[in-house]
Amino acid sequence: MIKLTLEEQKIASKIKRLKDAAGSHSPSIFTICEKLPELEIKVDACFLSNPYATELFLDYLKKDLIDTNKLKDVLEFYPSQNGVIADVISKSIDVDSKNIFVGNGAIEVIQAVMHNFVEKRVIVNIPTFSSYYEFARGDTEVIYYQLKKDENFVLDIKNYIDFVKSKKPDSIVIINPNNPDGGYIKYKDLRFILNNLKEIKNIIIDESFIHFAFEDDEYNLISATELFKEFSNVIVIKSLSKDFGIAGIRAGYGVMDQYKV
């Protein structure tokens, strides 16, 4: 047991109160700074950030919006609607815009998918990004597939497929690479899973960290974005918060069969 001083105990109970009030996630660093000015925060270990990418983003922001005086327009006027934004994303990921669902952060896409497509039963690998069970509807049963610590949280593909087949869910969630453990399923293994689970109605693949993963020693990257063309049950979800370092902007999208968009 760690022994806290009286002062530390006070701070700890204040943090606990903030946490209880924050809902599913930790309070933001802004809330903690405001409510606990006595704390000197060095690292925010509750939320992920990518300061290198944020720096790069700021360079572009300055060059493209501030130096050109376009920032005022961007702030003053309503933005283009999602169809237009989907067109922009379409060009960079090479997927038709009618297959792209734009969200206010990937969280919004996750919520929409969990509410609209996931039905009676979903399998979520654990440990995982909590939104996938927090946004499950009241009438959706969440079944956890436990990744094992002594196997370094690596997904045992065959065992997983057997588990899914035995539970007969309508939906499964694969975060690749996984948050929080970074476990990565190589492209050919992912295809193996998809080929063996064609009966599952929704296979949700969250690729929010795909830009940190690689397939081989040459750092080649393979995204699953295109797989929905071959497997109509695939829904790919992508946050821009981590790789582009822009969590504050709330930008994310989903790629899926066009009848779902």
Ligand X SMILES: *Cc1c(COP(=O)(O)O)cnc(C)c1O
Residue pair 188/221 in contact (Cβ under 8 Å)? The answer is no
Nearest distance from residue 1's CB to ligand X, in Å? 32
CA distances from 19 to 3, 28, 193 (A): 21, 10, 38
Cis peptide before 51 (omega within 30 of 0): no
- Comparing CB distances to ligand X, the nearer of 63 and 248 is 248
Question: Minimum CB separation from ligand X for residue 236, in Å?
Answer: 11
In this chain, which of 176, 179, 223, 233 binds ligand X, going by CB under 6 A?
179
- Which region, judged by CB under 6 A, interacts with ligand X, from 18-26, 162-170, 195-203, 234-242? 234-242
Binders of ligand X: how many residues, by CB under 6 A? 13
> What torsion do the CA atoms of 150, 154, 158, 163 make, to the nearest 10 degrees?
80
CB of 240 to ligand X, least distance (A): 6
Give the nearest distance from C-beta 135 to ligand X in angstroms: 11
DSSP structure string for 85-138: HHHHHHHHHT--GGGEEEEESHHHHHHHHHHHT--SEEEEEES--THHHHTS-T
Interface mask toward ligand X for 45-84; x: CB under 6 A: ----------------------------------------
CA quadruple 64, 70, 72, 74: dihedral sign: negative
Does the bond joining 37 to the residue before it have cis omega, within 30 degrees of 0? Answer: no
Q: Is 239 in the site for ligand X (CB under 6 A)?
A: yes
Residue 106 near ligand X by CB under 6 A: yes
Closer Cβ to ligand X, 160 or 253, answer by number: 253
The answer to whether residue 254 forms part of the interface with ligand X (CB under 6 A) is: no
With contact defined as beta carbons under 8 Å apart, do 178 and 128 qualify?
yes
User: Which parts of this chain interact with ligand X (CB under 6 A)?
Assistant: 105-107, 129, 175, 179, 206, 208, 239, 241-242, 247, 252
